[in-house]
Amino acid sequence: MQPLKEKILSEGKVLSNEIIKVDAFINHQIDPLLMKGIGSEFCRRFSDTEITKVLTIESSGIAPALMTALELQVPVVFARKKKSLTLRNHLYESKVFSFTKKEVNHITVSKDYITKEDRVLVIDDFLANGQAADGLMDIVEQSGAHLVGIGILIEKAFQEGGKLLREKGIRVESLAKIASLEDGKVLFVD
């Protein structure tokens, strides 16, 4: 997706050979027009299939997931990383290990909001090793819902998450695929 790639080139900051900082438009300050375009693009890419719910994980997945859900006219649910005070039971739970932050998050979703009748589109900002996607997929599986696919803003194609998911037969649509961050430069796939 051209506007996202241009934004990555103009405002992304390569921190190392593995990490790019996108705080200027995704992870801290959020560009609403870009997010609106991202929502339309996911809607277009998945227009061949019925979707009843968008599922993401807090915090940075929420903005693009909300814009996608708005375009699809379905609800969006975000997995929580901390347990809610008012919600302690009746939850799907999974574990997500973050390689970037070297910590385990226990993620939860209320059983009220994903059920076996749902057809779920998972949205997230980054795909690196695929741990967050695995945790969200685990929750979809526990619910008995159907996973339609996964929409990602930035896939780091030099890490193995995308490959692992596609090998499992999962439909992954990434709007920007980064081949390399070496020498401080962003190289996209194709």
Q: Based on CB atoms, which residue is closest to Na ion, 124 or 155?
A: 124
In the complex, least distance from residue 110 CB atom to ligand G4P, rounded to whole angstroms: 19
DSSP state of 80: B
Phi and psi (nearest 5°) for 107? -105, 145
- What is the spatial distance between Cα 180 and Cα 164, in angstroms, rounded to a whole number? 18
Among 1, 4, 22, 69, binds ligand G4P (CB under 6 A): 22
How far, in Å, are 41, 122, 170 from residue 147 at the CA level? 19, 8, 8
Q: Based on CB atoms, which residue is closest to ligand G4P, 23 or 50?
A: 23
Of residues 106 through 165, those in contact with ligand G4P by CB under 6 A are 125-132, 156, 161
Q: What size, in residues, is the chain?
A: 190
Residue 60 binds ligand G4P, judged by CB under 6 A? yes
Q: Of the ranges 69-77, 96-104, 115-123, 137-145, which one interacts with ligand G4P (CB under 6 A)?
A: 96-104
How far, in Å, are 17, 69, 91, 114 from residue 59 at the CA level? 24, 16, 19, 19
Of residues 60 through 89, those in contact with Na ion by CB under 5 A are 60-61
User: Could you tell me what percentage of the chain is helix, strand and coil, using 3-state DSSP and rounding each to the nearest 5?
Assistant: 35, 30, 35
Residue 125 binds Na ion, judged by CB under 5 A? yes
Q: Based on CB atoms, which residue is closest to ligand G4P, 50 or 188?
A: 188
Residue 185 binds ligand G4P, judged by CB under 6 A? no
Encoding tokens for residue 99? 């390689």
Binding site for Na ion (CB under 5 A): 60-61, 124-125
Binding site for ligand G4P (CB under 6 A): 19-22, 27, 57, 59-61, 98-101, 125-132, 156, 161
